[in-house]
Amino acid sequence: IFKPRNIIVTGGCGFIGANFVRYVAHNHPDVRITVLDKLTYAGNPQNIAGLPRSQVELVQGDICDAALLERIVPGHDAIVHFAAESHNDNSIANPEPFITTNVEGTFHLLEAARKHDVRFHHISTDEVYGDLALDDPCKFTESTPYKPSSPYSASKAASDQLVRAWVRTYGLRATISNCSNNYGPYQHVEKFIPRQITSIMEGVRPKLYGTGENVRDWIHTEDHSSAVWKILTRGRIGETYLIGADGEMSNIAVMRMILRLMGCAEDAFDWVRDRPGHDRRYAIDSSKLRTELGWKPVRTDFEAGLQATIAWYAANRAWWEPAKAATEARYRAQGQ
Ligand code: NAD
Ligand code: TDX
């Protein structure tokens, strides 16, 4: 078992990174955390507010800044790498920052980890595997070939491959996890579930892409956090672990559930232009993680998780309202 004492969490002011920082702060009070975050439009220091200053420190900076990495990496025993440009629609409108942050940024972190012999865990996505047919009985496994569809998923696929090369060639102590779609508190209003919840709260009809038949495999972000901690501390070096909670659901079913839970008619949404290259279905087989490391998700009641997420957005309007108008303006420009 690896017992980290001093970790760097990149992207720790974003949705999943901040939930991970909160998870570690709460469950492992002996671990010190340095959050390295550029605070792009997607990063918000409020996401980690209220944690003990003696335990969590925020460094605002870019993972592409090698000189900064040279200053902060020494003295840490692990890097957990969440920082990324994360939104498919943005990558279609303007791919360049995805290549810079996701590919070059990961490269610079790998070099710093190699130089200072630091354990590395890379956070990735199931989207690197492309998509499945709606009626395919198979799910993604660790041996599914890479076949990314969007600039975002191609950049994540490239970053995964860099990590593998650094393990094989330089002996870097690294692991990779590829997780399915996360939901929960602190998710940016550009993403599907928070976009619809906050639109309904503002009296605006939510928007469904294409036919709405596309399937996503939902996992509560707290279950993602517990899986990453398991892999960081008990995972075998050089291995990839898929993270998922058997939460497949079509977008239209999720949309109707949100509308019903918010007291609206289930057909009170608009159909909009489909995402170009829209992946049909993601589905994760997480048996390796479950059998080898004994992980299991606990927040598997999706309707209860969605209800709690709706309550969180209702209670935290001041958190999301400042980002809502600009996000919707971007969507309008894309006809979505
Ligand atoms: P997010 O967009 O909410 O947060 C990204 C964070 O990274 C932000 O705080 C941002 O400021 C920071 N960041 C961006 N560029 C940076 C740079 N150059 N230097 C330093 N910090 C930078 O993203 P998220 O949804 O929390 O995703 C986190 C990670 O998890 C990503 O690597 C993503 O690919 C992966 N992932 C996400 C999902 C999902 O459902 N959202 C699923 C599987 C994997
Ligand atoms: O308004 C919308 N209407 C809609 O129908 C939005 C924003 C999305 N959608 C659809 C597109 C997808 O099929 O909902 C589904 C989910 O969309 P996103 O929230 O954009 O997520 P997705 O593209 O599936 O990618 C997410 O999961 C994998 C994360 O954003 C990625 O970072 C992660 O790697």
Q: Which residues contact 68 (CB under 8 A, 6 or more apart)?
A: 59, 61, 62
- C-alpha of residue 14 to centroid of ligand 1, in Å: 6
Instruction: Please state the atom number of ligand 2 nearest to the C-alpha of residue 208.
Output: 5
What b/e sequence results for 53-73 when a residue is b if at least 16 CB atoms lie within 10 Å of its CB, and e otherwise? Answer: eeebebeebbbbeeebbeebb
pLDDT tens over the chain, length 336 residues: 999 999 999 999 999 999 999 999 999 999 999 999 999 999 999 999 999 999 999 999 999 999 999 999 999 999 999 999 999 999 999 999 999 999 999 999 999 999 999 999 999 999 999 999 999 999 999 999 999 999 999 999 999 999 999 999 999 999 999 999 999 999 999 999 999 999 999 999 999 999 999 999 999 999 999 999 999 999 999 999 999 999 999 999 999 999 999 999 999 999 999 999 999 999 999 999 999 999 999 999 999 999 999 999 999 999 999 999 999 999 999 889
Nearest CA to ligand 1 atom 1: 14
Distance (Å, rounded) from C-alpha 332 to C-alpha 336? 6
Q: Is there a contact between 38 and 64 (Cβ–Cβ < 8 Å)?
A: no
Mutate to test the pocket of ligand 1, among 13, 40, 59 (most ligand atoms within 8 A of CB): 40
Q: Is there a contact between 207 and 269 (Cβ–Cβ < 8 Å)?
A: yes
What is the gyration radius of the CA atoms in the chain, in angstroms? Answer: 19
Residue 291, both tokens: 């059998």
Q: Is the ipTM value over 0.85, yes or no?
A: yes
Set out the domains of the chain in order of their start, with CATH numbers.
Answer: 6-185+220-246+280-300 (3.40.50.720)
Residue 127, both tokens: 């989207």
Contacts 24+ apart (CB under 8 A), 295-298: 295/226, 295/227, 295/230, 297/219, 297/220, 297/223, 297/226, 297/227, 297/245, 298/222, 298/223, 298/226
Residue 104 identity:
E
Catalytic residue list:
126-127, 152
Q: pLDDT (tens digit, 9 = 90+) per residue, 166-215? A: 999 999 999 999 999 999 999 999 999 999 999 999 999 999 999 999 99
